[in-house]
Each structure stands twice: as structure tokens, then as C-alpha cells.
Amino acid sequence: MKRVLLAAASLAALCSPLAAGMGQAQVQVQPQVVRMGGSSTVFPITQQAIKAFQQGGRSKGVRLELSATGTSGGFRQFCSGQLAIANASRPINRKELALCAKSGVRFVELPIAFDALTVVVNRNNDWARHISVKQLAAMWGRQAEGKVKRWSEVNPSWPARPLRLCGPGADSGTYDYFNKAVNGDSANARRDVTSSEDDNVLVKCVANDPNALGYFGYAYYAANQSRLKALWVLGGKGLVAPSVATVQDETYVPLSRPLFLYVNDQMLRQQPHTRRFLTYTLQNGLKLVQQAGYIPLPASTYRLVESKLYRHVLGSAFGGELTPGMSLALALQRSLEQTKQPQFR
């Protein structure tokens, strides 16, 4: 598990008289804590937001704790009331909705960015430049476990080299999304692969092995282009490379997706520092997302997302369903349409 402790300003000291002529004693005031966790894909965005928020004394009196356990692991913590904010690389699913309901955790769902789920190989790989969704399924589906072991078994024009696969673990939202998009079911995945919820581990897995192929969020590829090569993907709109432009024009399908922050509504109402941090993040979302290496929402959309936060628009717009291939415009429309309903005007 990746964990970062990003503490706010130093503890303040309060003085209170003990008795006449006996001086004063200092009492330390403990900072309020905002705990965040979940997706390693969204981690760089939240990390960037924390660093920027701390500048200029904005974080005085609050300690911001951030960890990366994977989207599913984050939702387990979030729905049991352990986190104020959950990072998620997919919408909350039905099982998690039920867990939150059972625990009495109500939440606000905030889209924060777009991502191009990126398929990568080693820089020394000189045979693979593009790959189809069908070939990805032939590599990664459960039916390939223990059977598809060489590159040539996926494409006869590729060499008979051993095939090493490096992919997210089962607690990762990237794992769920990729398998749903490529294999038709979020649980349809071979298990004889190198797996981790930490995307940096996957970067090293591919960068250190010329026979490896992996997939993870676009920011981790963008930060490691000198060590990795991204493959063009043949999907529903032809052969397309992952990029900011192809995500925004909705041609990189089915591996484009929205990214989210989920906020515990009770903590949002009771902890002003949680609201301050989220307000700052959304007001500066376009810049923060770009700095983290991801694809921002349209500038006007962040104002709509901020209105969801202020109006406490509760629940998920996705009904517990994971729907790869949905247009990003439709995904945003679904996520924001509640703000247009009469009770929120």
C-alpha cells in the first residue's frame, strides 16, 4: 500500500492560566485530520491538490493524509466511515452502494478528470506498435491463463518470445474497468500475471523487461515515456493512440474513462476544512489535473461539479453499473444532471 502523510502547519499552542502567580501552561491543539485513500490512478491528482493547498498557509490547523490501496480497497474504507474522501478510477458499484447504505454513509460523487487507460510495452520492443481489443482479450482473459505464454500466440507476426504481463491487482478500479471493457466482465481476468495496486510497480515491471506488456493510467505512462512505449489500440473508432486529444474527441474507445472523488457527506457538513480543501481542488481542477498528467474536464464543468458539492447532491449517477464505451459527454451529463433537478435549483 502506498501511503503519504502530508501534514499541515505546525501545532498551535494555547496558554491558559493555572493559578495566580504560577505562570501559564501551554496546551497543544491537535490539527483536524482529513483522511483520503483509494485509487492509485487518482493519487497523483489528489497529491498535487494537497501540495498546492498547503502553500500560503491554507492548510493551517488541518492534517491531510493520503494513501493508495486501489479503488475497491478505498471504497471498503470509505463505506465503513474511515475516509472523508475516496479516490476512484471507476464509479461505485452495487455491492459498495449497499455497504455504504448499511453503514449509513451518504456521499457526494464528484467527477474530477478524464483518463486514457494506456497499454504499454518496453522501449526495446521493436515488433509491437499497435494492438486490437480482441488481441488484448486473447492475452488477458481467463481462458488465456496458463495457455497464452508467447507473443506469437497472440499475433503470428510477432516473435515467439515469452510474454510477461504486468497489470493492476483485483482491488484496482483500473483492473475492473479494463476487464469489463476488454473481456466483457470485470472479474474475467487471468491470474498468472505480475499484479499490484501500485502503478509504479507496474511501470518498473514493463520498463525492466523487454518481453513485458502492461496497462495503467495515462499519467504513469506520460511520466515514464523515456522507459515505456504506448501502443495504439484498435477499438470501436479505428486505430487510435492514447492522448489528451483522442480522449477529448472521444475516439480513444473503449479505454477512456472519467475519474472521481467521493466525499462523505456527514464529514463534509461537520468539517469545514474538508469543504475548504475540496472547494480549492475543484476551483483549480483544470490546472491541478494537467499538472498531475491527466486530462481535465472542460473549465465550465468544474463549476458544475462544485455546485454538486455545495448543494450536497447525494448518491451516484451511475446506479452501480460499470459501462465502458459510454461517451465522456454522457458520463458527465449523468453525473451532473441531478444539479438541474428542481430540488437543487
* pLDDT tens sequence across 265-317: 999 999 999 999 999 999 999 999 999 999 999 888 898 899 899 999 999 98
pLDDT at 335 over 70: yes
Average pLDDT over residues 201-210: 97
Mean pLDDT of the chain: 88
pLDDT at 331 over 90: no
Q: Which residues contact 156 (CB under 8 A, 6 or more apart)?
A: none
Ranges of each domain in the chain = 2-113+258-344, 118-241
Nearest to 256 by CA among 331, 338, 167: 331
φ, ψ of residue 2 to 5 degrees: the values are: -90, 130
Amino acid at 227: R
pLDDT at 342: 60
Average pLDDT over residues 7-34: 49
pLDDT at 3 over 60: no
pLDDT at 61: 81
Provide the CATH number for the domain formed by 2-113+258-344 in this structure: 3.40.190.10
Tell me whether domains 2-113+258-344 and 118-241 share a fold: yes
Provide the CATH number for the domain formed by 118-241 in this structure: 3.40.190.10
Rounded-to-integer distance, Cα 31 and Cα 308, Å: 27
Rounded-to-integer distance, Cα 281 and Cα 302, Å: 10
Lowest mean pLDDT among 5-14, 51-60, 150-159, 293-302: 5-14
Average pLDDT over residues 204-229: 96
pLDDT at 94: 94
Q: Which residues contact 128 (CB under 8 A, 6 or more apart)?
A: 121, 151, 155, 158, 213, 231
Query: What three-state secondary structure class fits 263?
Result: strand
pLDDT at 244: 92
* Model pLDDT for residues 232-268, shown as the tens digit of each residue: 999 989 999 999 999 988 899 999 999 999 999 999 9
C-alpha cell at 250: 472521444
pLDDT at 97: 97
pLDDT at 21 over 60: no
Strands 32-38 and 85-88: parallel
Cite the beta strand spans of the chain per DSSP E. Answer: 2-6, 12-17, 24-29, 32-38, 62-68, 85-88, 107-116, 118-122, 130-132, 164-168, 194-196, 212-216, 228-230, 232-235, 238-240, 256-264
C-alpha cell at 112: 474530477
Are the CB atoms for 119 and 154 separated by under 8 Å? Answer: no
